A and B are shown apart, each in its own frame.
Chain A
Amino acid sequence: MMAVFEYAPAPESRDVVDIRPSYGLFIDGEFVDGAGPSFKTVNPATEETLAEVACAADQDVDRAVRAASKAFGPWSALPGAERAKYLFRIARLIQERSRELAVLETLDNGKPIRESRDVDLPLVAAHFFYYAGWADKLGHAGFGADPRPVGVAGQVIPWNFPLLMLAWKIAPALACGNTVVLKPAETTPLTALAFAEICVQAGLPAGVVNIVTGAGATGAAVVAHPEVGKVAFTGSTEVGRQIARTVAGTGKKLTLELGGKAANIVFDDAALDQAVEGIVNGIFFNQGHVCCAGSRLLVQESVEEELLAALKRRLGTLRLGDPLDKNTDIGAINSAEQLARIRSLTEAGEQEGAERWSPACELPEQGYWFPPTVFTRVAQSHRIAREEIFGPVLSVLTFRTEAEAIEKANNTPYGLSAGIWTEKGSRILMMADRLRAGVVWANTFNRFDPTAPFGGYKESGYGREGGIAGLEAYLDV
Chain B
Amino acid sequence: MTTSLADVASSDATLRAFLHGLPGVDRVGADQRAAMLSTRSIKTTAKAQAIDLAISMVDLTTLEGADTPGKIRAMCAKAVRPGEDAPRVAAVCVYPDLVAVAARAVAGSGVKVASVATAFPSGRSSLEVKVTDTALAVAAGADEIDMVIDRGAFLAGDLMKVYEEIVAVKAACGDAHLKVILETGELASYDNVRRASWLAMLAGADFIKTSTGKVSPAATLPVTLIMLEAVRDFRERTGRQVGVKPAGGIRTTKDAVKHLVLVNETCGEDWLSPEWFRLGASSLLNDLLMQRQKLATGRYAGPDYFTLD
A positions within 8 Å CB-CB of B: 3-8, 10, 114, 118, 269-274, 277-278, 306, 317, 326-327, 423, 443-444
- Chain B neighbourhood of A273, CB < 8 A: 23, 25, 29-30, 33, 229
A278-B29 in contact (CB<8A): yes
Given known pairs A271-B29, A277-B29, the reply for A8 and B43 (CB within 8 Å) is yes
With A10-B41, A273-B30 already in contact, 6 other A-B pairs whose C-beta atoms are closer than 8 Å: A114-B39, A271-B23, A271-B24, A274-B25, A274-B29, A277-B33
Given known pairs A5-B50, A271-B23, the reply for A443 and B42 (CB within 8 Å) is no
Complex Cα gap A269–B20 (Å):
11
A306-B33 in contact (CB<8A): no
User: In this assembly, does B6 line the interface, its C-beta being within 8 Å of a C-beta of chain A?
Assistant: no
- Chain A neighbourhood of B25, CB < 8 A: 271, 273-274
Mask: chain B, 29-72; 1 = CB below 8 Å from A; 0 = not = 11011000001111111110110010000000000000000000
B positions within 8 Å CB-CB of A: 1, 23-26, 28-30, 32-33, 39-47, 49-50, 53, 229, 260, 264-265, 268-269, 272-273
Complex Cα gap A306–B237 (Å):
11
A5-B39 in contact (CB<8A): no
Given known pairs A317-B265, A443-B28, the reply for A270 and B23 (CB within 8 Å) is yes
B33-A5 in contact (CB<8A): no
B46-A271 in contact (CB<8A): no
Complex Cα gap A272–B30 (Å):
11
Question: 14 A–B contact pairs at CB < 8 A?
Answer: A4-B264, A4-B273, A5-B260, A5-B264, A10-B43, A271-B25, A274-B29, A274-B33, A277-B29, A317-B268, A326-B41, A327-B41, A443-B26, A443-B29
Contact of A7 (CB < 8 Å), options: B26, B29, B40? B40
Most chain B CB atoms below 10 A, which of A8, A10, A269, A270: A8
The total of interchain contacts (Cβ-Cβ below 8 angstroms) comes to: 72
B269-A3 in contact (CB<8A): yes
Task: Name which residue of chain A comes closest to B232, CB basis.
Answer: A313
Complex Cα gap A91–B18 (Å):
52
Complex Cα gap A3–B45 (Å):
12
- Chain A neighbourhood of B41, CB < 8 A: 7, 10, 326-327
Task: Name which residue of chain B comes closest to A317, CB basis.
Answer: B265
- Chain B neighbourhood of A114, CB < 8 A: 39
Task: Name which residue of chain B comes closest to A277, CB basis.
Answer: B33
Complex Cα gap A444–B29 (Å):
7
Complex Cα gap A34–B28 (Å):
49
B42 to chain A, nearest CB (A): 6
- Chain B neighbourhood of A10, CB < 8 A: 41-43
Given known pairs A5-B46, A306-B1, A327-B40, the reply for A274 and B30 (CB within 8 Å) is yes
Complex Cα gap A308–B289 (Å):
42
A8-B53 in contact (CB<8A): no
Complex Cα gap A306–B44 (Å):
38
Complex Cα gap A5–B264 (Å):
7
B272-A5 in contact (CB<8A): yes
Complex Cα gap A444–B269 (Å):
29
Most chain B CB atoms below 10 A, which of A7, A269, A278, A444: A7
Complex Cα gap A444–B25 (Å):
13
- Chain A neighbourhood of B47, CB < 8 A: 8
B45-A8 in contact (CB<8A): yes
Complex Cα gap A208–B33 (Å):
41
- Chain A neighbourhood of B265, CB < 8 A: 317
Given known pairs A274-B33, A306-B1, the reply for A5 and B28 (CB within 8 Å) is no
Complex Cα gap A275–B269 (Å):
24
- Chain A neighbourhood of B229, CB < 8 A: 273
- Chain B neighbourhood of A8, CB < 8 A: 42-47
B26-A5 in contact (CB<8A): no
A444-B28 in contact (CB<8A): yes
